[in-house]
Amino acid sequence: MESGSPPGPDMLIRSGTPAFRNTILAMFCAGFATFALLYYVQPLLPVFSADFGLGAAQSSLALSLTTGLMAPSMLVASSVSEIVGRKPMMVASVLASSLLTLLTSFAPNWPALLALRAVTGIAIACLPAVAMAYVAEEIAPASIGLAMGLYIGGSALGGMAARLAAGILAEFGSWRLAMAGLGAMGLVAGLIFWRSLPPSRHFARRALSLSEHISGFAAHLREPGLRLLVVEGFLMMGSFVTVYNYIGYRLLAPPYAMSQASVGLIFSVYLVGIVSSPFSGAVASRLGLRNVFWVMIVVMGAGVALTLAASVGLVIAGLALMTFGFFGAHSIASSWVGRRARTAKAQAASLYLFLYYMGSSVLGSIGGIFWQREGWNGVTALVGVLLSLAFLISLRLARLQPLAP
């Protein structure tokens, strides 16, 4: 059911039920496919630099342009989902972005590749904000943390598997083979998502005027907690993507001189994100979001500092620690946005994700300038400043007055 009057709270999906198992399977597949198709280019950035004669900042456009187009598209997609329904928007997003990735593998030149990656960003945008709204509307409050944790865990696994596969396929085949393989994988995951996700029961289709659209965003920005959370999304994601965008350049260069396949294997540290998301969600459900969120920001900062070590083992340990903190913090922030938004939850989610992906796009490209001028010390200095700001904001969030139930 995608329209009509919402049923009572007794019809919310609760953990332990078949509907909950189907939902988390579907959301896991959606997260897996979406973030695989978004981030598989990260280990390929040095390959693009070599093949197309590009600098690091130029090569990063293969990701930054995608996330840059995603961000504003989410603001529109969330409102369109209020009209056409949550599930149809999400299914179309996964299948379209998979087909576009297959098409990108045939790109004849760098401008064509960037154009296709830009359109892919628009297609991908239709899922993340709507997914957060679906979970907030359909899942019982006590089970939201676990559901979001598993969705983000799927995102972590998808991001890791795609980066790993892309690095290996590029080493032993080509970047075109990597794109084609990942596009096919996305189609399979999209079909599982389509078949498994229960239809919306607490969603009522409605028309939405432009004035409503604008007033809805304005209302969310007037809420102090949401205003701080969207800034946190910008800072956290910008920091995370900046580190992963340029770590490959560092490890491919002397003294490490690692192979492309070996650099791809480094992304297996994403496995800690699969553990971190549900773990952090469960701990936050017991101890409170505000009491766990700032800790995860500190963990991120500690991980970034550790990447300054000369030992490749310590660099990898730092990446793992930063990844654990990031996915924990993002899982908590995503749940927090859904709770603090009393109405138009899809718009609130899209506002958070708008700044989240703008952080990826803007700060991810700026990081390339720091890499070219100051090397890894410059990258970590930039990220250190960003995470210091995120930590200060997390302390302000911890002191906010809780919303009345």
Residue-wise pLDDT tens digits, 125-175: 889 868 877 888 889 888 887 887 788 778 878 888 898 899 899 888 999
Contact (CB, 8 A) for 12 and 138: yes
Contact (CB, 8 A) for 81 and 133: yes
- Mean pLDDT calculated for residue range 93-112: 96
Domain count, the chain: 1
pTM of the entire predicted model: 0.79
- The predicted-structure confidence for 205-261, as pLDDT tens digits, reads as follows 666 666 766 777 777 777 888 899 999 999 999 999 999 999 999 999 889 989 888
CA–CA dist 325, 301 (Å, integer): 8
Of 231, 235, 227, 230, nearest to 325 by C-alpha is 235
Q: Using 50, 70 and 90 to split pLDDT, how confident is the model at 8?
A: low
The range of the structural domain enclosing residue 264 comes to 16-398
CA–CA dist 356, 348 (Å, integer): 12
CA–CA dist 128, 18 (Å, integer): 23
Of 8, 12, 64, nearest to 246 by C-alpha is 64
Q: Is residue 3 part of a domain?
A: no
- The predicted-structure confidence for 313-353, as pLDDT tens digits, reads as follows 999 999 999 999 998 999 899 888 877 776 767 678 778 88
Residues 6+ apart with CB under 8 A from 296: 280, 325, 326, 328, 329, 332
Element (H, E) at 7: none
Nearest-10 crossing angle of helices 141-172, 312-340: 140
Average pLDDT, the chain: 88
For residue 278, give the CATH number of its domain: 1.20.1250.20
The whole-number pLDDT of residue 1 equals: 44
Contact (CB, 8 A) for 177 and 7: no
Q: Is residue 404 part of a domain?
A: no
CA–CA dist 165, 197 (Å, integer): 27
Handedness of CA 13, 18, 21, 27 (dihedral sign): negative
Q: Is residue 11 part of a domain?
A: no
Contact (CB, 8 A) for 304 and 384: yes
The whole-number pLDDT of residue 77 equals: 81
CA–CA dist 216, 360 (Å, integer): 25
Residue labelled with tokens 């289709």: 205
Q: Is residue 331 part of a domain?
A: yes
Contact (CB, 8 A) for 172 and 261: yes
Residues 6+ apart with CB under 8 A from 340: 223, 225, 226, 229, 348, 403
206: phi then psi, degrees, rounded to nearest 5: -150, 155
The whole-number pLDDT of residue 220 equals: 76
The whole-number pLDDT of residue 298 equals: 98
Measured CA angle at 279 (ends 275, 285), to 5 deg: 160
Is the bond preceding residue 18 a cis peptide, omega within 30 degrees? no
Handedness of CA 94, 99, 101, 104 (dihedral sign): negative
Residue 2 clears pLDDT 70, i.e. is over it: no
Q: Is residue 403 part of a domain?
A: no
Handedness of CA 38, 40, 42, 46 (dihedral sign): negative
- The predicted-structure confidence for 271-297, as pLDDT tens digits, reads as follows 887 788 788 878 887 888 889 999 999
Residues 6+ apart with CB under 8 A from 29: 154, 189, 190, 192, 193, 196
SS3 (DSSP) at 13: strand
Residues 6+ apart with CB under 8 A from 253: none
CA–CA dist 29, 188 (Å, integer): 9
CA–CA dist 332, 299 (Å, integer): 14
Of 388, 3, 56, nearest to 201 by C-alpha is 3
The whole-number pLDDT of residue 5 equals: 44
Residue type, 336: W
DSSP string, 107-165: --SHHHHHHHHHHHHHHHTTTHHHHHHHHHHHB-HHHHHHHHHHHHHHHHHHHHHHHHH
Of the chain, the percentage scoring pLDDT greater than 70 comes to 93
